[in-house]
């Protein structure tokens, strides 16, 4: 397994994948678990629960400020019952506005506040990422991971390294299928895919001229 963390993580991962054709594409992934954990934490804070009570948030796309943190399919445990995050919060404007920008810009905000990167949070996210590859995801739960987009069921162009919701079993990831994508989500998912396609083009132009 090859896990890329250094930014631009998605495009660096795609470059590594292209540079090592003898290694299966499926063995390459990049870290969007830090964003995934931040999205869970924002929901938990808002609802006064722990991050462990929140599951199935999704980070779509690039580990950048165009990433799309999506809680359309997320669940939260409240008073012993699992409910949808949208139903629990009843605050669509926050979920479609401030929540998204907070997660997108959290890394920059941490650096601005601390004058240091969020190294410990990243280390924790790497541990989560590796643990789930090794031991698999719990039944009924999925996590976010930057993986090759080939053959995905969500209309994301092939040959990008794009973050999807995945389940993992026997050290093999599988993109979660059958999730409903509304128009709001579609626009956000396409925007981050466009950025990744542009990054890829720039990176490969540079590599071909090197």
Q: At residue 186, does pLDDT exceed 90?
A: yes
pLDDT score for 206: 86
More confident of the two residues 176 and 114: 176
- The rounded distance, in Å, linking the Cα atoms of 8 and 13 is 8
Report the largest interatomic distance among the alpha carbons of the chain, rounded to a whole angstrom: 59
Q: At residue 30, does pLDDT exceed 90?
A: yes
Q: Which of 36, 63, 73, 129 is catalytic?
A: 63
Contact present, 63 and 162 (Cβ < 8 Å): no
pLDDT score for 124: 96
> Which range among 20-34, 59-73, 96-110, 160-174 shows the weakest confidence by mean pLDDT?
96-110
- Find tokens 């063995």 and name the residue: 27
What tens digit of pLDDT does each residue of 52-77 get?
A: 999 999 999 999 999 999 999 999 99
81-84 and 143-148 beta bridge pairing: unpaired
Contact present, 9 and 125 (Cβ < 8 Å): no
- Catalytic-residue membership of 63: yes
Helix (H) or strand (E) holding 204: helix 183-209
- The rounded distance, in Å, linking the Cα atoms of 11 and 173 is 20
As a whole-number percent, the residues of the chain with pLDDT over 70 amount to 94
> Which range among 59-73, 97-111, 164-178 shows the weakest confidence by mean pLDDT?
97-111
Q: How confident is the model at residue 209 (pLDDT cuts 50, 70, 90)?
A: confident
What tens digit of pLDDT does each residue of 108-162 get?
A: 556 666 666 677 889 999 999 999 999 999 999 999 999 999 999 999 999 999 9
Helical residues (DSSP H) of 21-153, grouped into ranges: 33-47, 85-89, 92-95, 98-104, 106-114, 119-135
* Exposed / middle / buried, residue 112 (Cβ in 10 Å: 0-12, 13-18, 19+): exposed
pLDDT score for 86: 96
- What distance, in Å, lies between the first and last C-alpha atoms of the chain? 27
CA R_g for the chain: 17
Contact present, 75 and 82 (Cβ < 8 Å): yes
Domain positions in the chain are 2-204
pTM above 0.75, yes or no: yes
Query: Which tokens belong to 55?
Result: 């599951």
Query: Which tokens belong to 207?
Result: 């590599």
Rounded mean pLDDT of 12-35? 97
Rounded mean pLDDT of 34-51? 96
Whether residue 8 has a cis bond before it, omega within 30° of 0: yes
Rounded mean pLDDT of 15-36? 97
Average pLDDT, the chain: 94
Contact present, 85 and 33 (Cβ < 8 Å): no
CATH number 3.90.650.10 given to 2-204: no
């Amino acid at each position: 397994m090859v896990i890329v963390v250094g930014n631009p993580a998605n495009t660096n991962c795609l470059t590594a994948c292209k540079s090592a054709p003898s290694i299966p594409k499926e063995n390459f992934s990049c870290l969007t678990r830090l964003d995934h954990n931040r999205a869970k934490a924002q929901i938990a804070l808002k609802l006064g629960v722990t991050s462990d009570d929140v599951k199935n948030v999704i980070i779509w796309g690039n580990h950048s400020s165009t990433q799309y943190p999506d809680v359309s399919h997320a669940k939260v445990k409240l008073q012993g019952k699992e409910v949808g995050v949208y139903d629990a919060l009843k605050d669509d404007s926050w979920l479609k506005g401030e929540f998204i920008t907070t997660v997108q810009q959290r890394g920059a905000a941490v650096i601005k506040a601390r004058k240091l990167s969020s190294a410990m949070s990243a280390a924790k996210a790497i541990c989560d990422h590796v643990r789930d590859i090794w031991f698999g995801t719990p039944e009924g739960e999925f996590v976010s991971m930057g993986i090759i987009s080939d053959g995905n069921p969500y209309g994301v162009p092939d040959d990008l390294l794009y973050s999807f919701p995945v389940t993992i079993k026997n050290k093999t990831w599988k993109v979660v299928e059958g999730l409903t994508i509304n128009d709001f989500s579609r626009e956000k998912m396409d925007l981050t895919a466009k950025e990744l396609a542009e990054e890829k083009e720039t990176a490969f132009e540079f590599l071909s001229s090197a």
